[in-house]
Amino acid sequence: MQMKDMAFVTTDWSAIEPTEHSAQAGQAFWRTQRFGDIRVRMVEYTPGYVSDHWCEKGHVLLCLEGELITELADGRVFNLTPGMSYQVADNAEPHRSTSPNGAKLFIVD
């Protein structure tokens, strides 16, 4: 990730209109900012959220609230709780997530 040609800016996430994204079960609500090629999101998963795809996009993801369970295509499973993060490169390890009780995440990709 290269961060260039970006001035200092603050974000009031509550002022950004969320967009709804469907899933196999539950919903995801994204508040998104773009800075050149970098996408920064505050994401909320509803209780019972189940992703409908294997993601191959790289992310830096921080769990702020709730619990996120992320499964890798090779069968490994990781449980994130508030204050935990994961980092994965583009096209490195396909992953998908569920959130039985909901979660709030901060994601940079």
* Per-residue pLDDT, 2: 74
Q: What proportions of the chain, in percent to the nearest 5, are helix, strand and coil? A: 5, 50, 45
**Tokens 């959220």 map to which residue?**
49
Tens of pLDDT, residue by residue over 19-73, are 999 899 999 999 999 998 899 999 999 999 999 999 999 999 999 999 999 999 9
84: number of Cβ within 10 Å: 13
Q: Which domains does the chain have, with CATH numbers?
A: 18-108 (2.60.120.10)
Tens of pLDDT, residue by residue over 31-42, are 999 998 899 999
pTM of the model: 0.92
